[in-house]
Structure 1
């Protein structure tokens, strides 16, 4: 498989902050990612608006509807990452080399009782928590660390 000939998968992600300035992260159910945490994110459907995709992914993965979110800002650019060699050809049916992500920052207007990891089948996360933004690069799977550092740099002054 030639990495250079594969496209990036279009993706949207959402950095959700609460009133205390902490960021929502979920622990993926996927056994290969056990012990790692991530912000809600996922693929963009063909023809789907990127903001709509980010809000859809947020709702599917957390149960938090758009009415409980104030979108603060989109990132100024897309942020891409490549899959490590051991995952290339194994995820997303081998169609992509990695993801090109569109990130959004938003404030959570609800309460923790509004969070429902089983709102959509199949569930993506088995646990969730609020963490300090600076901890994001430490909790994500290592090959996405640069992405989380870039997202932090984009939104740091707005959190």
Structure 2
């Protein structure tokens, strides 16, 4: 799967039962201070492997970054969103092969217990992406992300905003 000069990726909006969104604080301290200061929080995301289905990539990335398996698909973004890396990051990221990312986003409901979330020793032997995590209001996501990713987060919030309310109790016992 190739998209010109954009790296194919997925993003995951993981919502808890109260309609709050999982955000992790980027562990990478090599990010320039002006990009990191107050903008180091993000939702899970990552690359799509060659031949991998985007939804399967989203489940894999979620597990590799958070250890979460207990999640149900709520929605998929109707389109792919792109962002360009800042000029000072282009040569360092992905050895200059991509100018940015093209992302397919998925909204998932976290169905497990919080003890399932493990950012220190995530599944698959991956290096930890995050050094802290929390549940956050969907309305704060845009201000928490690095400025060059804001237009994508604005689209994601617009696309999945209706899902951010508390989960309704099941009426199966009526």
TM-score under structure 1 normalisation?
A: 0.92
Partner of 2:92: 90
1:138 aligns with 2:143: yes
**Gap runs ≥5 in structure 2:** 165-174
Residue of structure 1 aligned with 2:50, choices 39, 46, 60 = 46
RMSD after superposition: 1.1
1:1-159 equivalent positions in 2, closer than 5 A: 7-31=5-29, 32=31, 33=36, 35=38, 36-65=40-69, 68-117=70-119, 118-119=121-122, 120-159=125-164
For the residues of structure 1 that align with 2:25 and 2:97, how far apart are their CA atoms?
25
Larger radius of gyration: 2
For the residues of structure 1 that align with 2:146 and 2:28, how far apart are their CA atoms?
12
Contact 1:41/1:54 (<8 A) preserved? yes
**Gap runs ≥5 in structure 1:** 1-5
Contact 2:19/2:163 (<8 A) preserved? no
Q: After superposition, what is the alpha-carbon deviation per residue over 1:13-37, rounded to whole angstroms, capped at 9, x for unaligned? A: 1000000000000001111146410
For the residues of structure 2 that align with 1:21 and 1:86, how far apart are their CA atoms?
36
Higher mean C-alpha deviation, range 137-146 or range 115-124: 115-124
For the residues of structure 2 that align with 1:54 and 1:130, how far apart are their CA atoms?
19
Contact 1:27/1:34 (<8 A) preserved? no
TM-score under structure 2 normalisation?
A: 0.84
